[in-house]
Amino acid sequence: MPVTLRMLEKAEKEISKLERNVKGAVWDFQGKFRREPDSPGLQLKQLRGSKLFSARVKDDYRAILAKVKDNVWLLLTVAHRRESYDDLEKYAERFACEVNAVTGGIEFVDVLAVENSINERRPPETGTPSLFGAYSAKQLVELGVAETLVPIVAKLTSEEELLGLIEYAPQLTGEVLLALHDGKSVDQVRAEIVEPQAADWPVDRDNLVEALARPATQVTTDDEQLKAVLQGDFDRWKVFLHPTQRKLVARDYSGPARVSGGPGTGKTIVALHRVAHLVSQLPDDGEKRILLTTYTRNLATDLRAKLVELAGKDVADRVDVVNIDKLARKVVDNVERSGRQRVVLTDHQAIDEWRALLAEMGDTGWDGEFLADEWSHVILGQALGSFTEYARARRAGRGRPLTRSERMSVWQLAERFAKRMDDNGWTTHAATAAQAARIEAERAARIAAGELSVGGRGYRYLHVVVDEAQDLHAAHWKMLRAMVAEGSRNDIFCVGDTHQRIYDNVVSLGSLGINIRGRSARLTLNYRTTKQILGSALRLLSEESYDDLDGGVDSLAGYRSVLRGAVPTVRGFDTLTAELDGIAAQVEEWVTSGTPLEAIAVCVPTKDLVDRVAARLAAAAVQTVEITPDGPKGREGVHIGTMHRFKGLEFQRMIIAGASDDLLPRAAIDRRRKTDPTRYAREFRRDRSLLFVAATRARDDLAIFWHGAPSRFLYGAQNGN
Ligand SMILES: Nc1ncnc2c1ncn2[C@@H]1O[C@H](COP(=O)(O)OP(=O)(O)OP(=O)(O)O)[C@@H](O)[C@H]1O
**pLDDT tens sequence across 214-261:** 999 998 888 888 888 877 767 889 989 999 999 999 999 999 999 999
Atom of ligand 1 nearest to the CA of 648: 27
Give the position, in ligand 1's atom list, of the atom nearest the Cα of 265: 21
Averaged pLDDT, 507-514: 87
**Residue 449, pLDDT above cutoff 60:** yes
Q: Cβ(514) to ligand 1 under 6 A?
A: no
Given a cut of 80, whether residue 151 has pLDDT beyond it is yes
- Determine which residue's CA is closest to atom 8 belonging to ligand 1: 266
Annotated binding site for ATP: 261-268
Strand, helix or coil for residue 703? strand
DSSP structure string for 42-81? G--EEPTTSS-EEEEEETTEEEEEEEEETTEEEEEEEEET
Q: What is the DSSP letter of 130?
A: P
Which of these ranges, 285-289, 434-438, 672-676, 689-693, has the smallest mean pLDDT?
A: 672-676
Say whether pLDDT at 51 is over 90. no
Ligand 1 atom 1: the closest Cα is on which residue? 241
How many other CB atoms are found less than 10 A from the CB of residue 127? 6
Radius of gyration of the chain (CA): 28
Q: Does 271 score more than 70 pLDDT?
A: yes
Instruction: Give residue 265 CA to ligand 1 midpoint distance, Å.
Output: 5
Encoded amino acid at 254, one letter: S
Q: What is the distance in A from the centroid of ligand 1 to the CA of 456? A: 38
Among 172, 528, 559, 646, say which to mutate for ligand 1: greatest number of ligand atoms within 8 Å of CB. 528
Q: Which H or E run contains 99?
A: strand 95-99
Higher pLDDT residue, 395 or 36?
A: 36
Rounded Cα gap, residues 90 and 178, in angstroms: 30
- The span from the CA of 43 to the CA of 59, in Å, is 12
**What's residue 91's pLDDT?**
67
Per the CB < 8 A criterion, the answer to whether 77 and 47 are in contact is no
User: CA-to-CA distance for 109 and 5, rounded, in angstroms?
Assistant: 19
CA of 531 to the centre of ligand 1 (A): 15
Q: Is the CB of 245 under 6 A from ligand 1?
A: yes
354 has a pLDDT exceeding 90? yes
Tell me how far apart the alpha carbons of residues 203 and 308 are, in angstroms, rounded to a whole number. 36
In this predicted structure, the answer to whether residue 703 has a pLDDT above a threshold of 70 is yes
Is ipTM strictly over 0.95? yes
| Dihedral in degrees, nearest 10, Cα atoms 698, 702, 707, 709 | 90
For 55, list phi and psi in degrees, rounded to 5.
-145, 150
Residue 355 is inside which H or E element, if any?
A: helix 347-361
Which among 636, 552, 626 is positioned nearest to 599, based on CA atoms?
A: 636
**Which residue has the CA at smallest separation from atom 31 of ligand 1?**
237
Residue 279 has pLDDT above 90, yes or no: yes
Angle at CA 498, nearest 5°, toward 369 and 505? 25
Centre a 10 Å sphere on the Cβ of residue 301 and count the other Cβ atoms it contains: 16
Does 497 sit in the ligand 1 pocket, CB within 6 Å?
A: yes
**Count of CA atoms in the C-beta half-sphere (13 A) of 675:** 8
In the reported structure, the alpha carbon of residue 340 is separated from the centroid of ligand 1 by a whole-number distance in angstroms of: 41
pLDDT above 70 as % of the chain: 96
d(CA 111, CA 210): 25
Nearest Cα to Cα of residue 478 among 509, 503, 432, 450: 509
Ligand 1 contact, 264 CB (< 6 A)? yes
Distance CA 214, CA 193 (A): 17
Kind of pairing between the strands at 53-58 and 61-69:
antiparallel
Are 391 and 405 within 8 A, CB to CB? no
In angstroms, the first-to-last Cα distance of the chain is 57
- Whose C-alpha lies nearest to ligand 1, atom 25? 263
Query: Nearest CA to 246 among 290, 197, 291, 201?
Result: 197
| 241 within ligand 1 shell (Cβ under 6 A) | yes
Give the number of other CB atoms < 10 A from CB of residue 307.
24
CB 514 within 8 A of CB 256: yes
What sign results for the dihedral spanned by CA atoms 342, 346, 347, 353? Answer: negative
Ligand 1 atom 7, closest CA = 237
pLDDT of residue 338: 64
Instruction: Find how far residue 102's CA is from the centre of its chain.
Output: 26
Peptide linkage before 665 cis (omega within 30 of 0): yes
Mean pLDDT of all residues in the chain? 90
- Alpha carbon 21 to its chain's center: 36
Instruction: Measure Cα distances from 509 to 258, 336, 459, 478, 481 in Å.
Output: 10, 29, 20, 9, 10
pLDDT value for 235: 84
Contact, 705 vs 657, CB < 8 A? yes
Is the distance from CB of 111 to CB of 94 less than 8 angstroms?
yes
Backbone angles phi, psi at 520, to 5 degrees: -115, 145
The protein residue whose alpha carbon is closest to atom 15 in ligand 1 is: 266
- Specify the ligand 1 atom closest to the Cα of 270: 18
Burial of 515 (0-12, 13-18, 19+ CB in 10 A): middle
Task: Report the pLDDT value the prediction gives residue 86, as an integer from 0 to 100.
Answer: 54
More confident residue, 508 or 420: 420
Question: Which of 78-92, 198-212, 371-385 has the least mean pLDDT?
Answer: 78-92
Secondary structure (3-state) at 707: strand
d(CA 367, CA 351): 10
Ligand 1 geometric centre to CA of 101 (Å): 27
pLDDT, residue 720, reads: 44
* Closest-CA residue to 144 (of 99, 114, 185): 99
Q: How many CB atoms lie within 10 A of CB 36?
A: 14
Q: ∠ CA(410), CA(411), CA(417), 5° rounding?
A: 85
Residue 678 Cα to ligand 1 midpoint, Å, equals 34
Letter for the amino acid at 660?
S
Listing from the earlier edge strand, what are the strands of the sheet with 61-69? 4-7, 72-80, 61-69, 53-58, 45-46
721 pLDDT more than 50: no
pLDDT of the residue at 457 = 63
Burial 314-342, CB ≥16 within 10 A → b, else e: ebbebbbbbbbbebbbebbbeeeeeeeeb
Q: Is the CB of 696 under 6 A from ligand 1?
A: yes
Which of 207-216, 389-398, 578-587, 671-680 ranks highest by mean pLDDT?
578-587
pLDDT higher than threshold 90 for residue 547: no
> What is d(CA 242, CA 498) in angstroms, rounded to the nearest whole number?
22
Q: Is the CB of 692 under 6 A from ligand 1?
A: no
Listed in order, strand segments (DSSP E) in 243-369 are 257-261, 290-294, 319-323, 343-344
Which residues are bridge partners to 6 per DSSP? 74
With a 6 A CB cut-off, is 237 part of the ligand 1 pocket?
Answer: yes
CA–CA separation, 148 vs 93, rounded Å? Answer: 10
Which regions of 233-377 does DSSP assign to beta strands (E)? 257-261, 290-294, 319-323, 343-344
- How many whole angstroms from 300 Cα to the centroid of ligand 1? 16
* pLDDT bracket for residue 320 (50, 70, 90): very high
Contact 526, 695 (CB under 8 A): no
Residue 496 Cβ inside 6 Å of ligand 1? The answer reads no
Q: Residue 365: its pLDDT value, please?
A: 86
> If you take atom 14 of ligand 1, which residue's CA is the nearest one?
264
Determine the pLDDT at residue 679: 78
Contact 220 CB / ligand 1 (< 6 Å): no
The predicted-structure confidence for 653-692, as pLDDT tens digits, reads as follows 999 999 999 899 888 787 777 777 877 888 888 899 999 9
**Nearest protein CA to atom 9 of ligand 1, as residue:** 266
**More confident call, 312 vs 222:** 312
DSSP class of residue 383 equals T
Name all contacts of 416-419 with Cβ < 8 Å and 24+ positions apart: 416/357, 416/361, 417/353, 417/354, 417/357, 417/371, 417/375
262 Cβ closer than 6 Å to some ligand 1 atom? no
User: CA 18, 175, 721 angle in degrees (round to 5)?
Assistant: 100
